[in-house]
Amino acid sequence: MKPTLCVRLDAIRHNVRVWRSRLGDRPLWAIVKCDAYRMGMVPVAKAALEAGAQRLCVVEIAEGSELRAAGIAAPIVHVAATPVEDFPTALAAKLIISIGDAGAAKELSSIAKRMGVRAMAHVAVETGTGWWGVPSSRAAEFAREVASLENIVWEGTWTHIAGRDSIEAQEERFHHAVAALRQAGLAVPAVHAASTGPTLWGLDSGIARIGVGLYGSSLGTDLGAAALKTAAEVRAPVYSVRTFSEATPLGYGGAHVAQAGETIATLRIGYGEGLPKTLSGSGSALLDGVSGRIVGAIGMNFTMVSLPKGAKINARGDALLLGDAPGVRLDEVAKAGQTIPHHVLTQVGAGMTRIYES
């Protein structure tokens, strides 16, 4: 008796098509880092490409190598400053490397020349996260230092947007950096700064890197008729159903007291399977189409749900805690859990059976 995680590849394809329609002529690159937000990198990547994503983005060179081993030939971009020690592996797998300083660029040129290949490289520009990258104010200096290096094709440049409040200032710094790079001799035709959030917040130029949006999150933005579908489905078996005859504290700490006549369903799922503990008191579960409220402290393996009076459910059935249904859609679960949808996706699934539906 274990909970299950079903990844709906048809929903991912649908979402890619929705994003492509929204983007118009702008390219869409699918972010499949962290094992595609723990949803399974290879099947998610294939579904996204089938629906029209032009490229894939990873955060580890090993992820790119795994995609190549699975037979994926699409361009793969490393969206972090690529460690020098990973250059040979990246070049052998024909991955697009990101460079954040002139020293790394010189190393890349030397290694590519020694291997007899031309490296495809993007300039990572620092505009406001502080992680790594060429400071936007030094873009021209960087370009002059690396423009003559051999065996490198400067195919693009990019940055990360830190948040909604910083988007305008970061976009301005990035545009200045792009202009400086080009003026100093780097072509960088592929320009990308917009991930899911910035794309929704109004950054309407360049390539869009869509990550959490693949799984149905619009980060609270109403997309109207072009609605996304929650592509991850978490179901938990019903462990027991009890109607209490007297007031009874529930779970660890007795945070919720079931009243006489209250019906409680206990589900075989908990924080050990990645269910956010913060859903207690605010999250929902659907049992045979009946919505119940998660109550009491969520345990490592069990969660309790208060059912409406008179509700009839299958005591041997299961409950939907995340899926494409009212109350349990990805953005709704994240809001109820006082977290972000990215966190919900990357947590659920521990110890679960993961299955795929095409």
* Residues catalogued as catalytic: 33, 252
Comparing CA positions, the residue from 15, 42, 41 lying closest to residue 28 is 15
Tokens of 283: 């999250």
What is the rounded distance in angstroms from the CA atom of residue 159 to the CA atom of residue 131? Answer: 10
**Which residue from 310, 320, 300, 304 is spatially nearest to 240, judged by alpha carbons?**
304
**Which single residue is written with the structure tokens 């072009």?**
226
Report whether 135 contacts 127 (CB < 8 A). Answer: no
Burial level of 244, CB count in 10 A (0-12/13-18/19+)? middle
Interatomic CA distance for residues 189 and 52, integer angstroms: 21
Structure tokens at 96: 């697009």
Distance separating alpha carbons of residues 334 and 36, to the nearest angstrom? 18
Residue 28's DSSP bridge partners are: 208
